[in-house]
Structure 1
Amino acid sequence: MKKITFLFTALMALAIFSCSKTSKEQTMISTISKEIFGELPDGQTAELYTLTNANGMTVNITNYGGIITKLTAQDKKGEWADVVLGFDTLQPYLAEHPFFGALVGRYGNRIAKGKFKLNGTEYNLAINNGPNSLHGGKKGFDKVLWKATEVKKDSTVGLQLEYTSKDMEEGYPGNLTVKVVYTLANDNSLTIDYTATTDKETVLNLTNHSYFNLSGLKNDILGHEVSILSDSIVPVGADLIPTGKLRAVEGTPFDFRKPTVVGAGINKTEDEQIKNGGGYDHCWVIKRSESGLIPFATVKDPESGRFMEVFTTEPAVQFYTGNFLDGSLKGKNATFSKRFGLCLETEHYPDSPNQPQFPSTSLKPGETYHTTTMYKFSAK
């Protein structure tokens, strides 16, 4: 009888263990879900996709503008919090806002006076930033509805977005077909993969404009520690257009080759570049010893321990510290005051179409534009 009782107990324990294991395995699955986000003025419907990995990290993306509306990361206590600026509903994204979380195109950053020449033809772009064109114009890729397709693999979940920009849209030549894939992996990384083709030579510089705040939107980003693998920046004039030459970071407030507190040099306006940018709003040239996807930047919030690594195939990054945020915008239980978020916009240099000494941003028929950027989160 004792043997039978023991055997029964062992079998019950095994069954409980198996059920527990099965339940645990079921929760450790990446998922993607979709809901209605709202209606656009033309009657089209914007959707919101929620990507969740096996650890519980979530990323919310809408097919309106390819905007990342939410991204969660764990602190050193294991607690999750949203770490990007944005809104809970569609309507604020339809109004004026500083490109929170958006896909930017056709040309990320500024083009001087909204003009450039290509093969002897001058093209005039939409002017939307003083005398210049910024981030694709008045209706760039951040303000269009993308075709969305869910992508599910064994260890990742993703969202593929597609858009065709017609010839001369916002002044840019060529019918441009663009595909952007957001992929959330179980190592808590979010990868953004961009590809594009054109039927007429054009210029192209795609990026994402997420504002990060690793405190979980509790404090500003002046206490964040940032490192950037770069020996030089692209200096700008008072109009934030490049002067055409590079400037070494050594001995300046722009030296982030080692982790440096953002607030340490951001107000040193005796430096002309800090004054021109109103803080940090400059392009850092990434130091490379090899091509492909490389780590080039880190961000840490010392209080929470949240840590972000950034990788890219691009030659440069625009490091922007929310200098133009003024507290007039509120969202997700936070007021977006000055320097409440920071951006690391991987890209080619600003105004490259007018600066032949800069790496080319030209895309010709028969060529494929391809670039990748990855943000990876952990805690220290």
Structure 2
Amino acid sequence: MGCSSCSTGKDGQPRGCKNNGTCGTDGCNKLTVFDWLSNMSLPSGHQPFDCVEVRFKNSRKEFFRNNENLTLSIGDVVATEAASGHDVGIVTLTGELVRVQMKKKKVDWEDPSLPKIYRKASQRDIDVWTNVRNKEEEVKKRSRELAIALGLQMKISDIEYQGDGSKATFYYTAEERVDFRQLIKDMARAFNVRIEMRQIGFRQEASRLGGVGSCGRELCCSTWLTDFRSVNTSSARYQQLSLNPQKLAGQCGKLKCCLNYELDAYLDALQEFPKADIKLHTRKGRAVCQKIDIFKGFLWYAYEENSANWHKLMLDQVQEIIDKNHNDVKVESLEEFASEISEENTKREFENVVGQDSLTRFDQPKKKRKSKSRKKRSNKKTARKKE
């Protein structure tokens, strides 16, 4: 997604609005939502919902009560209540959809302790907010140096300053528990702000930092994914994927979230197939399932004595053999069933979807150049003929 400022520049390169996640139109920010009720008016006698959704740095969103009845719309910069001082954020949702979001996230809109919106941000608030946001990269670099000097096994991945610049939240990842009491003292002395350390998981770190996945698109966790479900290696086994950690792991180092997207469809399709631990009993020996292709309906079996030689069977043939085995009847061998599959139905040749033209059909044919020696010989022959 992009805003009106994120157009292409010179030579077709993306120009970008360069607002660092604070775009006023909210069109190029993470987890942007669309208010499909914005053009609809409320029925007579109904008061507008007095809570709004405000987004801060990256994907952090919170709900605030609009006690002052300010006229707010998506993209407005507001000053909100914080634990101490005030914070600055961007309004991302207003109206009845906020009630739906609060119900989804189990937030009570009747809670009197719900934080409030003070005012629309003044120019001074925006200037202070912009200045502290510009210092975050430098502070993050310095904080990493302090952590390395103390020998702490942790990684400081992101920093978020409060809107008034009085507090800084450091997000870090660590494998084990870290004693960072001395680190907090050193950072408070170096940066002269209140320090809050918040540990996040590796998936949350990837969602905050963003990036491009192996599919060539932006990470799902940084664009639209809001909940992180557990991903197991069984998801890859059900989809007949090779258990290669380099291909199955994302940028967070964990299994990719997209392994769960099509898992339900695979599980429904596998219900028509026999279980992989069922063995086929033949007079030649017992056969074990080696591979399943749920799209074409093929199964590969191999004898226990000769596991290197696989036999491809259709789903109906396997069901027939299993039914005979239940009646204590053994088939002769797998070869007689595998030979029934015609090669014409299984083997597909390459089809040129573009046409039968070659790739060099637009190239100009090269002219043959005669060598100088050949030209001399041909000239001598013509001279002799004239004589």
* Fold shared, TM-score > 0.5 on shorter chain: no
- The structure with higher relative contact order (CA 8 Å, sep 6+) is 1
**CA radius of gyration, larger in:** 2
TM-score range, shorter chain: under 0.3
Could you say which structure has the higher helix fraction? 2
User: TM-score when scaled to structure 1?
Assistant: 0.22
User: TM-score when scaled to structure 2?
Assistant: 0.22
